[in-house]
């Protein structure tokens, strides 16, 4: 039993004739007859009562009714497989860090999903180390994040520098200066992210290189939450400028001078080809974000 035979049976029922079914399907009548004879032999039942008008037997009516759903599902499956092969359907597991997850990605992802409505995308929003682990375990297709530490057997395609600025309460003592240097942080509380955060590691290296290891800190743990704690007066923080639109009430920003505190961001993936749908999203996001 195959899809062609089921479609032949349905054409015979529509026309009530082997001849007309053969004409619709561009088959020889002998081909239609052989298909039905083989199907009846395989099933061990007679499906049609032959005569001037071809009619279904009781077994034939049951089989015909069930065949309608089978043909529909098989045609849908064939269409879905074709769409997947062309990269127009499938499931994509995307990892992303903040602030890209909340600020840049939503509009870009919505535009992509409108263009390819049969593609399903799921997001894992986490730190770069967590996304690296998920990529190694095969639970993500690719990620938008900072560069991984040396030694990771992953491919990183750089896209843009995430610009960081100092966020301060309006009444903070450093608010009167146009620019803030890292040396100015002495005597003030600096809000920092979790110990595993790549940006915190980079910041700690910069501070250590400048001999500024005695700065008071308070761990908040979330890059997204930093601005809210600054606005509440807990301290000051280095925050991605892109995440400060709108600027929290009662806060101001200042440029950082004398140190490169910006973070390189890009696309992280395993070596080897991506699935067609994932490759489409990868290329789309790469093109859009290289314009940033």
For residues 202 and 247, the answer to whether their CB atoms sit within 8 Å is no
Q: How far is the C-alpha of 4 from the C-alpha of 25, rounded, in Å?
A: 10
Write out the two tokens for 57: 């037997």
Give the HSE-up count for residue 134: Cα atoms under 13 Å, Cβ half-sphere.
22
pLDDT tens for 260-269 read: 889 999 999 9
For residues 135 and 145, the answer to whether their CB atoms sit within 8 Å is no
Q: Could you confirm whether domain 164-261 is CATH 3.40.50.2300?
A: no
Q: How far is the C-alpha of 199 from the C-alpha of 223, rounded, in Å?
A: 9
For residues 155 and 269, the answer to whether their CB atoms sit within 8 Å is yes
How confident is the model at residue 213, as a pLDDT? 62
How confident is the model at residue 207, as a pLDDT? 82
> Degrees (nearest 5) of the Cα angle 248, 238, 214?
130
Q: Looking at the structure, give the CATH architecture of the domain made up of residues 90-161+264-289.
A: 3-Layer(aba) Sandwich (3.40)
pLDDT tens for 109-137 read: 999 999 999 899 999 999 999 999 999 99
How confident is the model at residue 272, as a pLDDT? 87
Low-confidence ranges of the chain (pLDDT < 50): none
Q: Is the pTM of this model over 0.85?
A: no
Residues in the chain, how many?
292
How confident is the model at residue 138, as a pLDDT? 92
How confident is the model at residue 212, as a pLDDT? 64
Residue 24 to residues 37, 39, 61, 86, 221: CA-CA distances in angstroms? 19, 20, 21, 30, 68
Averaged pLDDT of the chain: 89
| Identical topology for domains 3-85 and 164-261 | no
For residues 42 and 1, the answer to whether their CB atoms sit within 8 Å is yes
Q: How far is the C-alpha of 31 from the C-alpha of 124, rounded, in Å?
A: 54
How confident is the model at residue 64, as a pLDDT? 92
Write out the two tokens for 73: 């599902």
pLDDT tens for 202-243 read: 888 888 877 766 778 899 988 889 999 999 999 999 999 988
How confident is the model at residue 197, as a pLDDT? 87
Beta strands 155-162 and 263-269 are antiparallel
Q: How far is the C-alpha of 148 from the C-alpha of 154, rounded, in Å?
A: 8
Span 3-85: which CATH code? 1.10.10.10
Domain map of the chain by residue range? Answer: 3-85, 90-161+264-289, 164-261
């Amino acid at each position: 039993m195959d899809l062609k035979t089921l479609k032949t049976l349905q054409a015979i029922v529509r026309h009530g004739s082997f001849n007309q079914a053969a004409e619709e399907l561009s088959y020889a009548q002998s081909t239609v007859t052989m298909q039905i004879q083989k199907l009846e032999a395989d099933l061990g039942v007679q499906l049609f009562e032959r005569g001037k008008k071809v009619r279904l037997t009781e077994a034939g009516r049951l089989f015909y009714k069930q065949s309608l759903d089978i043909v529909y599902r098989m045609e849908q499956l064939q269409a879905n497989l074709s769409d997947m092969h062309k990269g127009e359907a499938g499931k994509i597991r995307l990892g992303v860090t903040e602030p890209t997850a909340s600020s840049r990605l939503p509009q870009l992802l919505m535009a992509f999903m409108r263009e390819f409505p049969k593609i399903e995308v799921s997001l894992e929003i986490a730190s770069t180390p967590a996304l690296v682990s998920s990529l190694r375990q095969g639970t993500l297709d690719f990620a938008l994040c900072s560069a991984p530490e040396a030694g990771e057997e992953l491919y990183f395609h750089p896209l843009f520098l995430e610009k960081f600025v100092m966020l301060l309460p309006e009444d903070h003592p450093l608010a009167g200066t146009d620019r803030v240097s890292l040396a100015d942080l002495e005597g003030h509380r600096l809000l920092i992210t979790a110990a595993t955060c790549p940006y915190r590691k980079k910041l700690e290296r910069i501070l250590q290189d400048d001999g500024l290891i005695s700065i008071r800190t308070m761990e908040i743990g979330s890059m997204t939450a930093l601005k809210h704690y600054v606005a509440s007066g807990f301290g000051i923080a280095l925050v991605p400028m892109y995440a400060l639109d709108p600027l929290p009430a009662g806060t101001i920003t200042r440029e950082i001078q004398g140190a490169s505190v910006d973070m390189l961001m890009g696309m992280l993936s395993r070596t080897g080809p991506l699935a067609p749908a994932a490759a489409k999203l990868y290329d789309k996001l790469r093109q859009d974000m290289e314009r940033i």
